[in-house]
Each structure stands twice: as C-alpha cells, then as structure tokens.
Amino acid sequence: MKIIISDSVRKKCPNLCVGMVEADVKNTEKCKSLWEKIKQAEDDFKQTYTTESIKLRPSIAATRAAYRVLGKDPSRYRPSNEQLVRRILQEKELYQINTLVDINNLASIHWGYSIGGFDEDKITGDILTLGIGRAGESYEGIGRGSLNIEFLPVYRDAKGGIGTPTSDHERTKIGLDIHRLLFLINGYDGNRENILNCASELQDLLKQYAFSDGGSVQLIF
C-alpha cells in the first residue's frame, strides 16, 4: 500500500509522521492471555494519568492540536487514542471486538497514538491519500453510523474515506475473515522513535497472537 499525505495536511500538520504496518494474519474472537496484558496496561495507566493530565500526553496533545488547526473541536470529536484511555480512567470496560482490534488498542494505550486498523483486501486500489474531510462527505463510522468528518484528517481510497483518527469506516473494518492487515499509526507529534517502537510492538503482538510473521513497517513523513 502506498500512502500519500496531501499538501493541505502537510501545510497544517508539518510534524506528522505515519507508521505503516502490513501483515498476513489470522484473527480470532478473543485471546485470554492478550486480555491479561490489556488489564495490566489499564491498571498501570490508571496509576499514571487522570482525565485531565492525559490531554498533556504528547501523542494525544499533538492529535488534539492537529484537529484544532484543521478546524475540528477535539473535545466534541475525540480522537480514538483519547477515547480509549478516557474509558479506562472512567472505570468503564473496554470493548471486546476481536484479537486484532484488541492488539490495536493495547499498542494505543502504551504509546498514545490513534491507530487505524483496516482489512487491506477491502481497500479499493493500492493508494491511500490523507486529506481533509469535506462538508457533506458521506462516512459511516464503525459503530457510530453517519459521522460528520468535515475538517477531520481522512484517509481515502479510490471509493472514498476509510479512516480518521476519530473512527475508521465500516467498509474496511477488521473482521474474523481478514487475511491481510493494515495498521496506520497517526503520529502528529512527529516522534519517529516512538512511532517505530509502537510499530515494533504491533509486530510482536501479531507474532504472538495473530499467527503472523509480523509483516513489514514503513515510515511516511
């Protein structure tokens, strides 16, 4: 997959670096040992952050700042990285979807990035372009129905939008029938070392829990 960052996004988000992980995988409904790691990550997170201090975590603060500069209110349309850890701090149970989504969530907890997760075989074409959402643009967020993506950063394939930091699209979501996985780590803080470390953790988790060799990693900046 080729990722193109549009000039409109580059101009307003000059620090953006995207980490891409592609891998052949096999998905499962739930993995007990993976969930033990997630529970430990939740406990550790609650000892470190509050609902106020998470806004200052660099990876989250940078995503919120990107929303503002693009014209979107990050408190109304929270990025998924912040949505996830807020659930933890509010003592709410994390959603149990499937193993690959759980892997995504664990890495997001550890590194603070919004990570898009896609069934690559459901993407139309082999190019994704990161642009800015337009007024009235049709978009069905996973579990959210119609989502107003105007002014949100959005990845588009040949058919239209498939991913934003707030929610990915139903059309390309990860199901149990997936064979080829694409993770996109949205690093608006530009911290390439942390983005690579997040990608490396995703690869390790895929090896442990998704019957994968970990696939390949690229940085796009």
Identify the pLDDT of residue 132: 98
Mean pLDDT of 1-23: 98
Helix and strand numbers (H, E) in the chain are 6, 10
Give residue-wise pLDDT tens across range 125-159: 999 999 999 999 999 999 889 999 999 999 999 99
Identify the pLDDT of residue 158: 98
Give residue-wise pLDDT tens across range 65-108: 999 999 999 999 999 999 999 999 999 989 889 999 999 999 99
Q: Which strands, in side-by-side order, build the sheet including 17-24?
A: 114-119, 180-187, 17-24, 216-220
Distances (CA, A) of 152 to 38, 44, 72, 147: 29, 31, 6, 10
Give residue-wise pLDDT tens across range 150-183: 999 999 999 999 999 999 999 999 999 999 999 9
- Burial, 118: exposed, middle or buried (Cβ in 10 Å; 0-12, 13-18, 19+)? buried
pTM of the model: 0.95
What's the rounded Cα separation, in Å, for the pair 157 and 138? 14
Mean pLDDT of 3-19: 98
Domain ranges of the chain: 2-220
Measure CA 100 to chain center. 12
Instruction: Kindly report the CATH number that applies to the domain delimited by 2-220.
Output: 3.50.40.10
